[in-house]
Structure 1
């Protein structure tokens, strides 16, 4: 028994490993708290805390430059913290809500995702956009905006600058859609439920889709919210498929790569299943609605703090063009689907 068992790390050693991460984590959480507070204090739905935190992180990095003291904490915020937030997000979706849409609307939610992500890769190759950035734009457009982009990067492993660029493009395109879709509802002759489903199937961020749908009244808001949640529920299977796709592409090029198993995606699905049982207290669900934006904002703040803006300029305008094309594509596919329902 002499020296064969490794002693478990005690509280002191855990504290020693945590101490280098504290400056970066504290700054990221501070930015996130400020971003969430600003969104709630202003009452402006379009002020997404994730986007506000990203802008704050970029501004601080531009003003201070890289601070190596922050690096350990930034790494922890970008990955472990984000994955925990994605798992908690599953508490906000139930199978009953999604199934209540009916088979037609569910098929539409699956279709827009199944069309948009492969189209992003195909169009990106022809527009000269890097594959990793194209995949992130496809996931952000097809599923749920910023959350999908930062989650997808756990398997894509694109450069930080690519993630930041994708977040900026998706935010811009989704915000334009938030303004335009309510204006187009009447000329297109859409009923309130049709318009709600269109907004929920076409817009990127949850807040953008719900905000646009709400402009059509309570019936449209309900249809839009649930349609959007159906797309959010596809986050986990889409990430799993994306991981397989990345590994397959690497193998085709003769590059050995290990498939990144997105365990957090399984956790997300587990939470959806748990929420669907009705056993989760309302307090826990409400807490997740408060905690998820905070953790995601902290993660994206870390991304901004780790990003050199000069590297973004080298990406050019082609990814922006791809984001615009994908936004028009998903709006057209969603509208065609609504007309068939």
Structure 2
């Protein structure tokens, strides 16, 4: 039985976060409306929400009453949405792709991540920003950036810049790969795997592979989702390394990202009792909306003056990383 004092505290806490939560939710809804009415299915509502949030923050300003609700959206809602991503995956999908195909996708992810981190050091990009760009490029775009930052601890400007990079260059890849495929003699499931193993966002992969037919779309989706499921072990590894560095330096180490275990648990549950049909459609819609709310909050905390100070090097890093993963995935086609 709930104690009256606990209920009162809960109502008070909700009232405190309500203004900021209403703001982030309103911006997310507006982003979804713009995306759907534009007729551009590949246009990401996540990116739109972040841009809208940045516009409000830098043109209008955000009052102190909204602060806690914005932070709630950026942390609690984000973690919940990442766990819900697990309903879009089953381990059977990975098995269907085959051990070689999955191993190739995993290898591409790891090599790309390490390569971008290394190039980032050569270019003089801040380690946190380079790590976020690496995660977004190697794994799954904006979702990977904001999930990885739970252990990377980059600034709001780092996160916004990384999301912008992977969105822009992922969109370029989405347009370029279908044009390059006929010139390279790639079609069907082979083209789908190439796109799924290299393009950044799930929506971008779907838009690119749709032009190659049903087999290309199915192959691309499975290859892409295999990268998504690898987000969990990547974050756990990064968390372990960060905690080791933090303890060695005597500084505060990032907390264990427990939501990652929730994500893996949801994938396991969905593998045993798959969610299908209308129920899955609802969950996918809710997940996208929650991620969009989180990105609106990110935009509301981003100062564009600081964003501009990050310079051209990070942009160059995003471009190099996108070209590298596309080339590496193409080179791996002979092995799958």
- Tell me which interval the TM-score lies in, with the shorter structure as reference length: over 0.9
- Asked if residue 44 in structure 1 is aligned to residue 40 in structure 2, the reply is yes
Q: Displacement, 1:20?
A: 1.6
Q: Does 1:278 align with 2:270?
A: no
Task: Select 1:289's aligned residue among 284, 287, 297.
Answer: 284
Equivalence for 2:22: 26
Residue in structure 1 matched with residue 93 of structure 2 by the alignment: 97
- The aligned residue for residue 139 of structure 1 is 135
TM-superposed CA distance for 1:11, in Å, is 1.5
Farther-moved stretch of structure 1 (106-115 vs 242-251): 242-251
**Map of 1:35 onto structure 2:** 31
**Residues 58, 309 of structure 1: 8 Å contact kept:** yes
Q: Does 1:198 align with 2:194?
A: yes
State the secondary structure of the residue aligned to 1:238. helix
Structure 2, unaligned stretches of length 5 or more? none
Secondary structure of the structure 1 residue equivalent to 2:183: coil
Q: What TM-score, normalized by structure 1, do the two folds share?
A: 0.94
* 1:161 pairs with 2:162: no
CA distance in 2, matches of 1:229, 1:310: 36
Shift of 1:9: 4.3
CA displacement at 1:8 relative to structure 2:
7.8
C-alpha displacement of 1:260: 2.1
**Partners of 2:247 and 2:253 within 8 A in 1:** no
- 1:10 counterpart SS class: helix
Instruction: Give the TM-score normalised by structure 2.
Output: 0.96
1:3 matched to which residue of 2?
none
SS for the counterpart of 2:287 is helix
CA deviation map 1:25-45 (0-9, x unaligned): 001011111212222333312
Cα deviation code 1:192-229 (max 9, x no counterpart): 11110000000000011111111111111110011101
1:317 to 301, 312, 318: 312
SS at match of 1:100: helix
Deviation per CA, 1:11-57, whole angstroms, max 9, x where unpaired? 11111122121111001011111212222333312211100100100
Residue 283 of structure 1: CA displacement? 4.2
**8 A Cα contact 1:127 1:318, kept in partner:** yes
Contact between 1:173 and 1:327, CA under 8 Å: does it hold in 2?
A: yes
Contact 1:136/1:153 (8 A) holds in 2: yes
Retained in 1: the 8 A contact 2:86–2:267? yes
Aligned: 1:13 with 2:28: no
Corresponding residue number in structure 1 for 2:69: 73
Matches within 5 A, 1:234-273: 234-251=230-247, 254-273=249-268
TM-aligned CA deviation for residue 117 of structure 1: 1.5
Secondary structure of 1:58's aligned partner: helix
Work out the CA distance in 2 between the residues paired with 1:119 and 1:245: 18
In 1, Cα distance between equivalents of 2:307 and 2:254: 28
- Figure out how many residues of one structure are paired with residues of the other and give that number: 334
Structure 1 unpaired stretches of 5+: 1-6
2:56 touches 2:62 (CA, 8 Å); kept in 1? no
Aligned to 1:336: 331
Task: Please list, as runs of the form range in 1=range in 2, the aligned pairs for 1:109-120 lying within 5 A after superposition.
Answer: 109-120=105-116
From 100, 106, 110, the equivalent of 2:102 is: 106
